[in-house]
Structure 1
Amino acid sequence: MTQEDSALDGLVRKRIRGLRSALGWSLDDLAARCYLSPSTLSRIETGHRRISLDQLSAIARALGTTLDQLVESDADDDVIIRPQHDMARGLTTWMLNRQPGVIVAKMRLTKPAPTSAKALKVHPGRDWFTVLSGAVTLVLGDRRIHVETGQAAEFSTMIPHAFGAHDGPAEILGILDQDGRRTHLRPRSKGDEGRSSAEEEAEG
């Protein structure tokens, strides 16, 4: 076992003991729920017994968590959220969650909303954002909506749409689905200039 594996092994055992204690369960309580003997569970928690995958899965289920969460690394990369810059679009993004499905992201906008109808996007679902600072212009079809600091917007993304900064940089907190992430957060290349939203969506 490498030093890294040994550290993760110790972390998993601490998590098991910590989750059990947080639930107010004794060794007997958890042992009964994961069909292990209290002595086996005690040796697992204290590091005096190797943990099989079957045992770990049963313990995770009993504790109301998943195997992935129980064995995930505690490296700084799992904690620190670093910004992703897209200078061409005037967009800086902080991805605030890493799970699949709905995306939560903080975005800093420095460019105004587009004026060309060809730049508007369409994709299935709904988007939501709240303005943390500055002001945002939300384009929905033929409408241009001014969203100020402290206000929020929620809209169908089947309406051709785009958003950008209004009179200076703005920061927003947005909730997007996978289609919204691909449409709004995908880095824009030179070849994207002048392309329709349908062409970009087709590329997927």
Structure 2
Amino acid sequence: MTQDAALDAVIRSRIRSLRVARGWSLDSLAARCHLSPSTLSRIETGNRRIALDQLVPIAKALGTTLDSLVESAEDDDVVIRPQPEHTRGVTTWLLSRERAPHGVLVAKMRITPDRPTGPEELRVHPGREWFTVLSGTARLHLGERTVLVQEGNAAEFSTMLPHAISAVDGPVELLSILDREGERAHRHRD
């Protein structure tokens, strides 16, 4: 089987699996992506070539992206071996691949009380941020507000508000999910 044929088989399988997972018949998906049920059936079974102009509406109807449908099926190494990145008062371990297909970055962070917390540390960027506190207590500086987030609790906020996270009474460990803008702002500071 050639590489193109193998990828086609993966794409066909993904389409069928997503359709079945949603409990949709061929007719139901066909109506949502404006294709005939027979065309969709032939795509799923490999009796019809997959055309880009058909994949886009299929992906949209299935609530996924074209990238997710066509990304390589090679997943040889599923283990991520995070390497610590250090800045003053913060150690970060990336827990997702740098080029995650869904546009988010997952990281574990350890913040110590010696992290700078002045007004110049507050950042603003497009998007949203989410974190949960694994241990300790985090102080979330959010605009004019200060919110304490205890171990076991989580916070989600618009990153268009000036924000920073610091530690209270000792180190705090967080699990954080950042979108691409958040990654740029938090990992690549001047």
> Is the TM-score greater than 0.5?
yes
User: How many residue pairs end up in the alignment?
Assistant: 183
What does the per-residue CA deviation read over 1:129-181, in whole Å, with 9 as the maximum and x for residues that have no partner? 3311233455679998764312445678655745247434x321235565543
Aligned to 1:112: 113
Aligned to 1:163: 166
Identity %: 50
* Equivalent pair of 1:128/1:152 in contact (CA under 8 Å): yes
Aligned to 1:123: 124
* Equivalent pair of 1:135/1:149 in contact (CA under 8 Å): yes
Of structures 1 and 2, the larger Rg is shown by: 1
Cα separation, 1, equivalents of 2:11 and 2:87: 43
Aligned to 1:75: 74
Cα separation, 2, equivalents of 1:127 and 1:67: 25
Structure 1 pair 8–164 and aligned structure 2 pair: CA distance change class (3 A): farther
Structure 1 pair 13–78 and aligned structure 2 pair: CA distance change class (3 A): farther
Amino acid at match of 1:44: I
Give the unaligned 5+ runs of structure 2. Answer: none
Amino acid at match of 2:170: D
Cα separation, 1, equivalents of 2:41 and 2:121: 60
Cα separation, 1, equivalents of 2:23 and 2:133: 41
Q: Secondary structure at the match of 1:74?
A: coil
Cα separation, 2, equivalents of 1:163 and 1:11: 45
Comparing 28-37 with 141-150, greater Cα deviation is found at 141-150
Aligned to 2:40: 41
Cα separation, 1, equivalents of 2:137 and 2:148: 7
Give the unaligned 5+ runs of structure 1. Answer: 189-199
Cα separation, 2, equivalents of 1:142 and 1:160: 9
- Give the number of the structure whose residues are more often helix, by fraction: 1
Structure 1 pair 113–31 and aligned structure 2 pair: CA distance change class (3 A): same
- Give the number of the structure whose residues are more often strand, by fraction: 2
What does the per-residue CA deviation read over 1:23-76, in whole Å, with 9 as the maximum and x for residues that have no partner? 4444444445533351x4333222233222223234334444332222222332
Amino acid at match of 1:52: A
Comparing 10-19 with 28-37, greater Cα deviation is found at 28-37
Q: Secondary structure at the match of 1:167?
A: strand
Cα separation, 2, equivalents of 1:154 and 1:20: 31
Q: CA RMSD in A?
A: 4.0
The answer on 1:92 being equivalent to 2:95 is: no
The Cα shift of 1:14 comes to 1.1
Structure 1 pair 65–108 and aligned structure 2 pair: CA distance change class (3 A): closer
Structure 1 pair 41–164 and aligned structure 2 pair: CA distance change class (3 A): same
Cα separation, 2, equivalents of 1:153 and 1:63: 30
1:135 corresponds to which of 137, 144, 154: 137
Comparing 6-15 with 154-163, greater Cα deviation is found at 154-163
Amino acid at match of 1:117: G
Cα separation, 2, equivalents of 1:32 and 1:143: 49
Amino acid at match of 1:135: T
